[in-house]
Chains A and B, each alone.
Chain A
């Protein structure tokens, strides 16, 4: 240990003390969160929600793109035939497992799915974290419906088109996408993304009514147990 080192150390310690003393004079940056509402930045990914117009109409066309895009397969979609056209009957999102990866939003070609900046989802059981179309629509209404006397305009969909250069040009992006395009496989929920195109995810595209008739099962939200779980 040299005396010069000690001199240097003393100078540096004095500098450090100066910095910390200066910090004490500044205003704390604490958010008083539960007392005052917290704010999130634009583009915050909370929950993917379904767009529901104030008329009560969903813009989802039941194209299944989001179901296939979700890497962990937590989106399930039941369809019905309305006027000989396929339409969405029920939409189920297990938001407790959601990665907030935004892939479902980006895959939707109809802007029918957007990210709502909801973050207060904590619950004691898992059941309240399974959201159905009406729950999702409620969240959409909470964040995006117009106030009194305002026009309804659709929320901007924040996708990688907006921040990745060359993105959104219609060509497959990235090596994985290129491979998928080449081999004609498509991503399926829960699977490793290696199943052949055309094979539909189990229990997803079968029309809901017929599925229910065939198996005699009901959706979980219709059972008493589910209600009890939600009430808890």
Chain B
């Protein structure tokens, strides 16, 4: 294409997509943090940030980014050096990979994998590895407790999440993200699979460590959880990954259940962003409404309710598909 020989064209395409995803995640963190502050402010009848970048405080998070960039990178003597230093990169890498298979529009997908759904599930599991490394390498009991709780929560909620995604795959008849979006050309799957959507959304809140399941960062109990020993840029990477995984799980939910980039009048990527940020907003709305559940309640709910429900959903889906 454009007179560029094929292998080079693929390389250019890959680099451009990679840059795009990373920049998107960075910008998203800035926008999402701003949105979170605004939403929490409005829920508490405040107005949130407004002084830096009047009148809506748009520059507040940008100022915070600069603050984080110039902060000292502290590492305690007793930490496990390489585990500690590498941990922040992993959750961010996992989120970046997740966006590899998310379609932005017709034929606008970084990598059209035929097992896209499976790929999403596989790479999001890496996030827990990074958080656990952070907790282990910090050599700090709060960090370790936070990391272990996170691992417990994420592993328990991964199962119902996978099963919910599987139900979507069965309905669409494919694990390819493009096919899933195309299968929703008439009815979005949220109407066909409402139970799967609920399961996915609840599990994704746990996966993205959002309240009511924010065990990584249970401020009131664990000070800051797994990332307690981090500062400056390394801490910023955890933060980036946190908001990245929020927008990532919302993007997947929008693609699987809300019809992805499909929508009237507006171009595909715009619809995709609207739907994604609608779900991001709902997650924030939930965060500022509900308190954190107890860890045993979380595990109980995951294993004793969500998992059987997801299995039942799959069974019903299978029966209906067989009868049709």
Partners in one complex: yes
Chain A interface (Cβ < 8 Å from any Cβ of B):
1, 3, 6, 13, 16-17, 19-21, 23-24, 26-30
Within 8 A of A (CB), among B96-146: none
Minimum CB distance partner of B293 in chain A: A9
Q: When the two chains form the complex, which single residue of A16, A20, A28 contacts B47, counting CB atoms closer than 8 Å? A: A28
B285–A17 touching, CB < 8 Å: yes
A28–B45 touching, CB < 8 Å: yes
B41–A28 touching, CB < 8 Å: yes
A24–B305 touching, CB < 8 Å: no
Known: A13-B290, A17-B285, A17-B289. A23 touches B45 (CB 8 A): yes
Within 8 A of A (CB), among B30-89: 39, 41-47
- Give Cα A1 to B296, complex, Å: 11
Contacts of A27 in B (CB 8 A): 45
Q: When the two chains form the complex, which single residue of B41, B42, B286, B305 contacts A6, counting CB atoms closer than 8 Å? A: B305
A16–B290 touching, CB < 8 Å: yes
Is B17 among interface residues, defined by CB-CB distance under 8 A?
Answer: no
Is B219 among interface residues, defined by CB-CB distance under 8 A?
Answer: no
B285–A1 touching, CB < 8 Å: no
Contacts of B41 in A (CB 8 A): 28
B305–A20 touching, CB < 8 Å: no
Is B20 among interface residues, defined by CB-CB distance under 8 A?
Answer: no
B290–A28 touching, CB < 8 Å: no
Contacts of B39 in A (CB 8 A): 24
Q: When the two chains form the complex, which single residue of A1, A13, A24, A30 contacts B43, counting CB atoms closer than 8 Å? A: A24
What are 19 pairs between A and B in contact, CB < 8 Å?
A1-B305, A13-B289, A13-B290, A16-B289, A17-B285, A17-B286, A19-B289, A20-B288, A20-B289, A23-B43, A24-B42, A24-B43, A26-B45, A28-B45, A28-B47, A29-B45, A30-B45, A30-B46, A30-B47
Interface of A (DSSP majority class): helix
- Give Cα A121 to B42, complex, Å: 31
Contacts of B289 in A (CB 8 A): 13, 16-17, 19-20
Minimum CB distance partner of A10 in chain B: B198
Contacts of A21 in B (CB 8 A): 285
Minimum CB distance partner of B288 in chain A: A20
- Give Cα A24 to B44, complex, Å: 8
Minimum CB distance partner of B297 in chain A: A1
B301–A1 touching, CB < 8 Å: yes
Minimum CB distance partner of A13 in chain B: B290
Q: When the two chains form the complex, which single residue of B285, B301, B304 contacts A20, counting CB atoms closer than 8 Å? A: B285
- Give Cα A27 to B290, complex, Å: 22
Within 8 A of A (CB), among B283-319: 285-286, 288-290, 300-301, 304-305
Q: Identify 20 new A-B residue pairs, CB closer than 8 A, beyond the known A1-B304, A23-B44.
A: A1-B305, A3-B305, A13-B290, A16-B289, A16-B290, A17-B285, A19-B289, A20-B43, A20-B288, A20-B289, A23-B43, A24-B39, A24-B43, A26-B45, A28-B41, A28-B45, A28-B46, A29-B46, A30-B46, A30-B47
Minimum CB distance partner of A18 in chain B: B289
Contacts of B285 in A (CB 8 A): 17, 20-21
- Give Cα A16 to B43, complex, Å: 11
Within 8 A of A (CB), among B163-187: none
A23–B42 touching, CB < 8 Å: yes
Minimum CB distance partner of B291 in chain A: A16
- Give Cα A104 to B195, complex, Å: 68
- Give Cα A103 to B318, complex, Å: 80
Smallest CB–CB gap between A19 and chain B, Å?
Answer: 8
Minimum CB distance partner of A15 in chain B: B289
Q: What are the 3 tightest A-B residue pairs by CB atom distance, in nearest-first order? A: A24-B42, A20-B289, A28-B47
Contacts of B45 in A (CB 8 A): 23, 26-30
Contacts of B304 in A (CB 8 A): 1
B300–A1 touching, CB < 8 Å: yes
A28–B42 touching, CB < 8 Å: yes
- Give Cα A21 to B43, complex, Å: 7
Minimum CB distance partner of A25 in chain B: B42
- Give Cα A158 to B43, complex, Å: 37
Minimum CB distance partner of B212 in chain A: A13
Minimum CB distance partner of A6 in chain B: B305
Contacts of A1 in B (CB 8 A): 300-301, 304-305
- Give Cα A17 to B289, complex, Å: 6
**B151-172 interface code vs A (CB 8 A; 1 in, 0 out):** 0000000000000000000000
Minimum CB distance partner of A27 in chain B: B45
Minimum CB distance partner of B304 in chain A: A1
- Give Cα A29 to B42, complex, Å: 10
Smallest CB–CB gap between A22 and chain B, Å?
Answer: 10
Contacts of A19 in B (CB 8 A): 289
Smallest CB–CB gap between B60 and chain A, Å?
Answer: 15
Smallest CB–CB gap between B155 and chain A, Å?
Answer: 19
